[in-house]
Chain A
Amino acid sequence: MCIALLAPLGGFLVTWLMPGQAVRLATGTMAISFLAALWLAITTWNTVTHVTLPWFTAGTEVLTLDFAIDNRSLLMLVVVSFISLMVHIYSAVYMRGDTGFARYYAMLGFFTFSMQGIVVTDNLLLLFVFWELVGFSSYALIGHWHTKRSAGAAATKAFLLNRIGDIGFLIGLMIVWRTQGTFTLTDALSFPITSGWQTAAALCLFGGVIGKSAQFPLFTWLPDAMEGPTPVSALIHAATMVAAGVFLLIKIFPLFTETALVVVAVTGMITSLIGALAAMSQYDLKRILAYSTMSQLGLMILALGMGVVDGAFLHLLTHAFFKACLFLAAGIVIHALAHAQQPHFDFDAQDVRNMGGLRKMLPTAFVAFLLGGASLAGIPFFSGFLSKEAMLVALFTHASALSWLMIVVVLSVSFLTVLYTYRMIALVFLGEPRTVKTINVHEVETGMRIPTLILAACSLWLIVSWNPFDFKGWMHHTGHAGPHELWLTIISVLWVFAALFLARMIFGKRTPETNSLLRNAFYIDTAYSALAEKFTQVNERVTSFTEQRIIDQTLHGIVYFQVIIAHITGWVDKHIVDGIVNGTVRVTGWTGRAARSIQGGNVQLYIFWAIFTIIIFIIWALN
């Protein structure tokens, strides 16, 4: 297990130190990690491995590093390392000639290590550590082309919004510690806690999930994260990091009460609707995919909110494969277009309005898009269909009022998914070439095509189970084999084909203009920016006011006070101290003069004093 966890970390360190051999080292370590994960999965399937190491002591509490590997962790380990490996191979070609080549691979390794950490840990605090590391890696990778201003801004936005979610995570951590007394999940989840605190803890931890998995309202960073290189988007923002939130939710699922679950479900519902609607109206190829990811994540969160844990997990896995495949294929398109435009760039290689008819020039990408897109749309014979099935069936058997609403939402979202997927494929590959007519686009190298095709293959139904219509396989565990199952399947199939038909009608021939409201995702992002700006201005005014009035006034007061003290001291010194000295002098002088007057030179006075003394002597002697 350690190998699987630490090999990517080793890759990160080694690549940092020896940038020349970056590709081979990183890919090699990633391959090692994947094989180790696979071996671990095969050997420890259906068992739960616990490893506990002492970590540190804070006062009387001893905190431990806990690792728990169960089936889900094993699956995630394998999937993460596999997709990371594909991305490593792909990036060898995509990022060739990039100035930050070694840095890129180092961060890829670091990210994979962090992600593996999230997957295997059983300790909430340790998970938080890895959570933050993943966020940091995402920041570094989004802003990889740091000379581009938009990249830096996007990376910062991602990090900030992630951070806001993490505040909730921290509060949730504190609540768990306070009520359960331990961070270890297996222990924490086995104690009962009062429902008020439980809901609070669950919702706070869900806050972290909202930030990391781009749910409403902290989703605006995901479209901007497309500023990073496409392989990065494939790895992080489609398959793994955003899935980390869902994974966390699955892990702490026993913590959620009824009310918390309702909140979760509603959040997922809103997110998936917004994502789907926005994806319908984007012009940027990667943004379509980003909003699509957001929508699919919303679906997973929604399913979790309704208690469909296994279905959500299955969808997580299948989504990882087909979304990564889609991103890599998009990368092929963008890379080919960018290369063909050299040495001067006339148009945006990512804008779909410039593309069209690329099926002839980039067949690999076309095939990949078809397969991945079909899976995304939920067409039968593909993995996506099966995972959506799992969710729908579970929702149906739940049969509460809320679940009927959710079923409606899920159906609407899947309808929209079909629509925008078709639109995307149509605009890019079908029809006649538009601006790309002017350039000579040629097929990309094998190094990029093979990983894409491998992932495309994983989007087929075979990954899940042998039966293309039955989702219960080795990935999925529970079985609610209800009688309603079959006709539900038939309905969903019909639903999908209806959507396809409609899509072909709408998007087949023309390229319609899109609604700007949808395109800007209901202007939520703009609202956030304006709010942040306003807040900063208010902050600035308050601070300057404080500084001027309060601080300066205090300083002035102190200075005046000092001056007054100085004056008083001077007065005291002049009159009292000197007065004492002068007085002493005067007294001494007077005494001296008085004493001196005895010896006045007057004989008679001498006689007088002598007689005086004699008198005193007589009095004394004769007494």
Chain B
Amino acid sequence: MPHLILVYLAAFLFCTGLLIVVIKRNAIMVLLGIELMFNAANLNLVAFNRINGPNLDGHIFALFVIIIAVCEAAVGLALILRIYRYYQSSTPDQFSELKG
């Protein structure tokens, strides 16, 4: 039963993260949403590890997900800073030079 709740929660958090990414007009908020999605995936992994035996594959996977999330957040933030300096704005709508 808790396993099911956890999986549902993970799905919910994932969708919420997606919502944040799509809706918010601030680049930092986009990063926030991405972080939330990472955490949702982590929760999913841990939830399934509860079922699948005493080996800790899920935990280790989640650990590495954290590491990668760190990398991504660092690089993303650097990029945002850079873009912020260029555009003098942090609204993703304004970063439309690649407009088709």
| Interface of A toward B, CB cutoff 8 Å | 596, 598-604, 607-608, 611
Cα distance, A495 to B44, chains bound together (Å): 162
Q: Are B96 and A601 in contact (CB under 8 A)?
A: yes
Q: Are B30 and A600 in contact (CB under 8 A)?
A: no
Cα distance, A596 to B93, chains bound together (Å): 16
Q: Say which residue of A596, A598, A601, A604 sits within 8 Å of B97 (CB atoms).
A: A601
Q: Are B98 and A604 in contact (CB under 8 A)?
A: no
Q: Are A601 and B95 in contact (CB under 8 A)?
A: yes
What is the predominant secondary structure among interface residues of chain A facing chain B?
Answer: helix
Closest to A595 in B: B100
Which residues in chain B, 13-53, are within 8 Å of chain A measured between CB atoms?
Answer: 18, 21-24, 30
Closest to A608 in B: B22
Category for how many chain B residues contact A = 10 to 19
Cα distance, A598 to B100, chains bound together (Å): 8
Q: Mark B86-99, 1 if CB is under 8 A from A, else 0.
A: 00000011011111
Instruction: Using A599-B99, A600-B96, A604-B92 as known contacts, list a sample of 6 further A-B pairs with CB atoms less than 8 Å apart, ordered by residue number in A.
Output: A598-B100, A601-B96, A601-B99, A601-B100, A603-B30, A611-B18
**A-side contacts of B95, CB under 8 Å:** 601, 603
Closest to B30 in A: A604
Q: Say which residue of B22, B93, B96, B98 sits within 8 Å of A607 (CB atoms).
A: B22
Least Cβ distance of B36 to chain A in Å?
Answer: 14
**A-side contacts of B18, CB under 8 Å:** 607, 611
Cα distance, A611 to B14, chains bound together (Å): 12
Chosen A-B contacts, 16 in total, with CB atoms closer than 8 Å, are A596-B100, A598-B100, A600-B96, A600-B99, A601-B95, A601-B96, A601-B97, A601-B98, A602-B96, A603-B95, A604-B21, A604-B22, A604-B24, A607-B22, A611-B18, A611-B22
Least Cβ distance of B92 to chain A in Å?
Answer: 5
Q: Are A607 and B100 in contact (CB under 8 A)?
A: no
**B-side contacts of A602, CB under 8 Å:** 92-93, 96
Cα distance, A608 to B95, chains bound together (Å): 16
Number of residue pairs A-B, CB distance < 8 angstroms: 31
The 8 nearest A-B residue pairs measured at CB: A601-B96, A599-B100, A601-B99, A608-B22, A604-B22, A603-B92, A601-B98, A602-B93
Least Cβ distance of B38 to chain A in Å?
Answer: 15
Cα distance, A602 to B93, chains bound together (Å): 5
Interface core residue of A598, A602, A607 (most chain B CB under 10 Å): A602
Least Cβ distance of B50 to chain A in Å?
Answer: 25
Least Cβ distance of B85 to chain A in Å?
Answer: 18
**A-side contacts of B24, CB under 8 Å:** 604
**A-side contacts of B98, CB under 8 Å:** 601
**B-side contacts of A604, CB under 8 Å:** 21-24, 30, 92
Q: Mark B58-100, 1 if CB is under 8 A from A, else 0.
A: 0000000000000000000000000000000000110111111
Least Cβ distance of A147 to chain B in Å?
Answer: 102
Least Cβ distance of B62 to chain A in Å?
Answer: 23
Cα distance, A599 to B24, chains bound together (Å): 18
Least Cβ distance of B32 to chain A in Å?
Answer: 13
Known: A602-B92, A602-B93. A607 touches B99 (CB 8 A): no
Cα distance, A604 to B21, chains bound together (Å): 7
Closest to B92 in A: A603
Cα distance, A607 to B20, chains bound together (Å): 11
Least Cβ distance of A143 to chain B in Å?
Answer: 101
Least Cβ distance of B72 to chain A in Å?
Answer: 15
Closest to A597 in B: B100
Least Cβ distance of A597 to chain B in Å?
Answer: 9
